[in-house]
Amino acid sequence: MSSLCKTVKIISLIMLAMGVVGIVYGVYQWMTAPVIEGFEQGQVYVRASAVLVVVCSILFLVGGVSGALGANNPGKLKPYTVLCAILAIANGAAAALFLVAGAFMSVFFVFAILALVGAVFAVRARKDASNRLL
């Protein structure tokens, strides 16, 4: 296994751990949202971010498994690369939406950066593996 594949595997395992932590954090955030009579904006933002965190965390779990399994055979890293690119775009958009709304959600920035790094290393590992075959 090349050093790039090992890096992809480590990033994938970090994605798995972040996925589990993100699901726990999202559920906790949903449960502790301020209960206010009526329709308050604060509660809506907290609940919306909780749903986004849980959805992105589930995708991170899927991506982590896909990357950990694909790191053993770099030719199978294409789905991981696509999922990481989608996750980077989705989390970047979520972070931007919450910044515009006046709320700073650092978890979306961390998810976006981790997904982007995963995609970059997966592409490099695939190219390195194809160059070894030639």
pLDDT tens series, the chain, 134 aa: 788 889 999 999 999 999 999 899 889 888 887 765 554 566 777 788 788 889 989 999 999 999 999 888 888 889 999 999 999 998 888 888 778 877 777 888 888 999 999 999 999 998 888 787 66
Amino acid 134: pLDDT = 62
Amino acid 42: pLDDT = 64
- For 90, the domain range is 3-133
Amino acid 132: pLDDT = 76
Amino acid 133: pLDDT = 66
Amino acid 35: pLDDT = 62
Give me the number of domains the chain comprises.
1
Amino acid 32: pLDDT = 82
Give 26-90 as a 3 state SS string.
Answer: HHHHHHCCCCCCCCCHHHHHHHHHHHHHHHHHHHHHHHHHHHHHHCCCHHHCHHHHHHHHHHHHH
SS3 of residue 104 by DSSP? coil
